[in-house]
Amino acid sequence: MVKLFTPLKIKDLRLKNRIVMPPMCQYSANTEGYANNWHFIHYATRAIGGVGLILIEATAVEPRGRISDGDLGIWKNDHIIGLCNILNECKKHGAKVGIQLAHAGRKCSIKSQDIVAPSPIAFSKDYKTPTELSKKEIKKIISAFGEAAARALKAGFDIIEIHAAHGYLINEFLSPLTNKRNDEYGGSKENRVRFLREVIQEVKRVWPNNKPLMVRVSAEDYVPEGNHPETMAEMINLFKDDGVDIINVSSGGVMPIKIKSYPGYQITFSETIKNRADITTIAGGLITSPLMAEEILQNNRGDLVYLGRELLRNPYWPLQAAKELGVDLEWPKQYEKSR
């Protein structure tokens, strides 16, 4: 049996296949964070192409939480309608849709915004030095995640992903390279994970138990003193019982260093976390081949596979992958003549 096209049920969410489109910033929103026709076409095309789970790009929970002034926002109710239009169209074509709730932290590049982080350490010489968050400000950001989750629920999203990867705010708390605090939010693994745990708990106050919750992590910092897959698995074991169902495994981003990447370079990270934390994982990293995606699933190195750049190049990759793997997949009737 071809596992890539085997359905997967997590709580009340049933995915028609194991193919995931990960969050990929389009930097195409207006300066107030509103979605537009580009986002509508971009995501709907991948749903038509057969992707099982589409994750909307990093969507900021407050204005200073954007990476750029072209990022999507979900910090006010007016953002809901544009996001609704996207997910409703995607669902018409059989995809399930999630949203990544995010805060850029010290990697916010908007000149007009005051940037914040766990510690006052700039990402690089090209970025401003962030202000260290007070405990009061930490609580406000936690509340912002909860309010954003309520809006995501109102919009009708199937799943929420909390962005704790790629050197953005939550990842900055998790990594000892960026978190130099001396209070209960810094130091030990238990303390560094506290901010994420409180975000999860706040989101779970409004997010129904029958809907899955996911966290994206950077499993490897690529610096000896940073986090590594084994460390991240230990941290996941500290917060998974707060209501997390899936870990989306990525790497890097917390330090401005060049990563040696190659097809499948992150798959062993997913395998380590899946085994050591006993949790459902999404694996990926320059995956282009259907056979490679199938190998990952057949050998239990992940439960789902994400394809980023490949789906940018080819929105219809799932349809072509099914043909290559010998799966008789139903095509959109409008495209049957090209099958």
User: Is residue 82 scored above 90 in pLDDT?
Assistant: yes
* DSSP code of residue 280: E
Give the burial class of 81: count Cβ atoms within 10 A of its Cβ; 0-12 exposed, 13-18 middle, 19 or more buried: exposed
Coil, strand, or helix at residue 202? Answer: helix
What's the pLDDT tens digit per position in 86-115? Answer: 999 999 999 999 999 999 999 999 999 999
For 93-121, give one letter per residue: b (16+ CB within 10 A) or e: bbbbbbbbbbbbbbbbebeebebbbbbeb
d(CA 51, CA 266) in angstroms, rounded, equals 21
The helix or strand, by DSSP H or E, that contains position 117, with its residue range, turns out to be: strand 116-117
Q: The tokens of 5 are what? A: 């096209």
For 288, phi then psi, to 5°, come to -130, -25
Per-residue pLDDT, averaged over 24-29, amounts to 97
Q: What is the pLDDT of residue 42?
A: 98
* Confidence (pLDDT) at 337: 87
Beta bridge partners of 8: 15
- Mean pLDDT value of segment 277-304: 98
In angstroms, rounded to a whole number, what is the distance separating the alpha carbons of residues 49 and 256? 35
The confidence score (pLDDT) of residue 338 equals: 86
Gap between the Cα atoms of 248 and 218, Å rounded: 9
Q: In this predicted structure, what is the pLDDT of residue 339?
A: 83
Give all domains of the chain, ordered by start, each with its CATH number. 3-327 (3.20.20.70)
177 confidence band (pLDDT: 50, 70, 90): very high
Tens of pLDDT, residues 116-163:
999 999 999 999 999 999 999 999 999 999 999 999 999 999 999 999
Q: What six digits make up the tokens of 157?
A: 């999203």
Q: What is the pLDDT of residue 321?
A: 97
Cα 338 to its chain centre, rounded Å, is 33
**Residue 316: its pLDDT value, please?**
97
In Å, what is the CA distance from 11 to each residue of 15, 70, 97, 152, 303?
11, 34, 15, 18, 15
What pTM was estimated for this model as a whole?
0.96
- Please give the distance of CA 262 from its chain centroid, rounded to a whole number: 21
pLDDT band (50, 70, 90) for residue 215: very high
Cα separations in angstroms, 235 against 164, 174, 190, 192, 210:
12, 9, 7, 9, 24
pLDDT digit string (tens) for 266-277? Answer: 999 999 999 999
- Residue by residue, DSSP assigns 245-268 as -EEEEE---SS-------TTTTHH
User: 48's torsion region: left (phi>0), alpha (psi -120 to 50) or beta?
Assistant: alpha
Predicted pLDDT of residue 80: 98
- Provide the pLDDT for residue 59: 98
Q: Model confidence at 55, in pLDDT bands (50, 70, 90)?
A: very high
What is the pLDDT, as a whole number, of residue 336? Answer: 87
State how far the alpha carbon of 136 is from the alpha carbons of 140, 143, 202, 234, in Å.
6, 11, 15, 28
For the beta carbon of residue 280, count every other beta carbon within 10 angstroms.
Answer: 18
Query: What does the pLDDT average to over 22-40?
Result: 97
- pLDDT, one tens digit per residue, over 228-255 is 999 999 999 999 999 999 999 999 999 9
Q: Which helix (DSSP H) or strand (DSSP E) does residue 58 occupy?
A: strand 53-60
